[in-house]
Structure 1
């Protein structure tokens, strides 16, 4: 535990001191600290590498370690004793500070930690699940459970606890969409008599062994059909026509969220390319609008449309792209866009 405080001595300045932490059964821990000035810079420190101010007005941080086997219960700062550079002594008893609750998980304990569902399919939306455990030794029932995760993508969702038919206790946890996974770093169980049991690295306590995994994404987008509307445009109307491309794709683990579109001429040259983000509708369809460079490079003739689709997991599929070896044929047939020559010759 680290305690921070300021020391003021306007005359001779601060020299050294001790901080004493008192616990149950007469146990205590004391840590020394002192003013230190660097020989190579103007930096000053006071306990544990903390720094700030100068010898007359100093900011200190003192770290104490409770040894294994320390008594469970409430520990508090009992005294802070300081000396100035003239040797004068001042002792501050019971200074206002936060106390610390120490537990050995002996009176109250928890076990059998599980999270359900796990893995979670949060590719498209948040998933609300439960963290469940068995609690032993609770007096006056369980009053609260607190859970911490290593990432903001998972969170305890409310403070309500549920006692299940088998006697286990559950609390809600939410895994937000697009979160790749989370690990529980701390679980604190408090009973009605204020006894506490803690687990996880956050409390330097036993690991509850809880990690939320995401359902793996292993299959790239699969297209079943694609259509162009209109598929034929008079050249004179090219600048004012929007061509709609509707791609029908399977709804798989990860949603489709990106695309690249290519328009090829009869020789297989790319005459237009467009990229961007997209969304997959509830029926699996993706609606796109190919870019038509009507002012140059796209005259009357037949053109084919190819595309790449990418899902939220980074997997891609390629269809109707003659210049790409991994490309597949479009199941419903090639996408052909015809630009007709509607010009008239002068009489």
Structure 2
């Protein structure tokens, strides 16, 4: 695999602690990171996503297998086989067998938990045949139109007719009332969502869904807002509030980060029990409301960058090198970073990648050890910052945006 492809890929693999590149765990983890980095260079997917998906698959396989889930155990087996193949492919030739064997032993030990209780002995269940007879009565009814608004209580006898022409009459059924409305008594217009779009990059928000009622008796008491969105939009209270100008609103919660919530239904009820319906959910007039998150318009920016220490021996891999930057602007907040060393020929050497605490402004410090096999020389630091919308800004890369305050360099002796 090309070194440039590996560098590009490893730049987006989640960060590890200084000790993770050596020792038993580093022996099996580093080849996997290198393999995923090389593969990501040929795919339309971020290397961080591949590495995170690999970790998530192992975790779900281990936990689900421990709980006895068959699908999770299959995922655990495929996870182990795939991991061994990646380690064999990306490990140095001289230590390939040892690294793969060590990974196999680790996987086998973890399988004690993931495959707990698994047996190859067939289990035979003998059950006498059971027959279940489930009689059903299908009722077909048509609601006459037009009909006046109101509640259809079961105060009149109901006659049921089966397919053979037999009829039976039932009186005083205990079913809940069916409310019929044509919005002729109570109606509304001027539907709004405020604010919209909603800046939810800092967290979930509560907005107002409003309207102007007409014909309400005793004021509007509640409004139920429905959506077909799976993004987490929801209503925690249907209590309506009437403003001085006569408009009515209810609270509506929208989720953090990116979302789109189309309002498909609105049920308005006044103090007299009159109901008005709106939205495609009821085949009624649309509200025209679609609530969206505010766009990510300002990518991460920095106005300061400092490195400490600036000189380190080529054999020193336990000392933390700290890159301190000051985030000066971003709409969606910084959530991740990738740091590279760039040698005198312009070659990129991946150094560390990972998640950052959500930062909208202020200092951000990134720590990393000196990678192995870095020759003595002077290296330029390059940085990529990512935000919650998975957009990124780069600093210090060749022919790109320069690092704030000039190049940041590391001398390896």
TM-score if structure 1 supplies the norm length?
Answer: 0.71
Q: Output the aligned Cα RMSD.
A: 2.7
As a proportion of its length, which structure holds more helix? 2
- Matched with 1:113 is 191
Aligned length: 278
Q: Aligned partners of 1:245, 1:175: CA distance in 2, in Å?
A: 36
5+ residue gaps, structure 1: 1-53, 341-347
- Matched with 1:267 is 345
Residues 150 and 183, structure 1, Cα contact 8 Å, conserved in 2: yes
Residues 302 and 327, structure 2, Cα contact 8 Å, conserved in 1: yes
- Matched with 2:249 is 170
Aligned pair 1:82/2:82, yes or no? Answer: no
CA shift for structure 1 position 330: 0.7
Aligned pair 1:142/2:215, yes or no? Answer: no
Residues 219 and 315, structure 1, Cα contact 8 Å, conserved in 2: no
5+ residue gaps, structure 2: 1-130
Aligned pair 1:69/2:146, yes or no? Answer: yes
CA distances 1:16-35 after superposition (whole Å, capped 9, x unpaired): xxxxxxxxxxxxxxxxxxxx
- Matched with 1:307 is 383
Structure 1 residues 313, 60: closer, same or farther in 2, change over 3 A?
Answer: farther
Q: Aligned partners of 2:319, 2:306: CA distance in 1, in Å?
A: 16
CA shift for structure 1 position 225: 2.1
Residues 205 and 254, structure 2, Cα contact 8 Å, conserved in 1: yes
Q: Aligned partners of 2:136, 2:202: CA distance in 1, in Å?
A: 49
Structure 1 residues 300, 92: closer, same or farther in 2, change over 3 A?
Answer: farther
Residues 251 and 284, structure 1, Cα contact 8 Å, conserved in 2: no
RCO comparison, higher one (Cα < 8 Å, 6+): 2
- 1:241 is matched with which residue: 319, 327, 339? 319
Structure 1 residues 310, 154: closer, same or farther in 2, change over 3 A?
Answer: same
CA shift for structure 1 position 66: 4.2
Structure 1 residues 279, 57: closer, same or farther in 2, change over 3 A?
Answer: same
TM-score if structure 2 supplies the norm length?
Answer: 0.61
- Matched with 2:411 is 338
As a proportion of its length, which structure holds more strand? 1
Q: Aligned partners of 1:337, 1:63: CA distance in 2, in Å?
A: 80
Decide which moves more: 58-67 or 165-174: 58-67
Task: Kindly name which structure, 1 or 2, has the bigger radius of gyration based on alpha carbons.
Answer: 1
- Matched with 1:155 is 234
CA shift for structure 1 position 246: 1.6
- Residue 296 of structure 2 aligns to a residue whose secondary structure is coil
Residues 332 and 360, structure 2, Cα contact 8 Å, conserved in 1: no
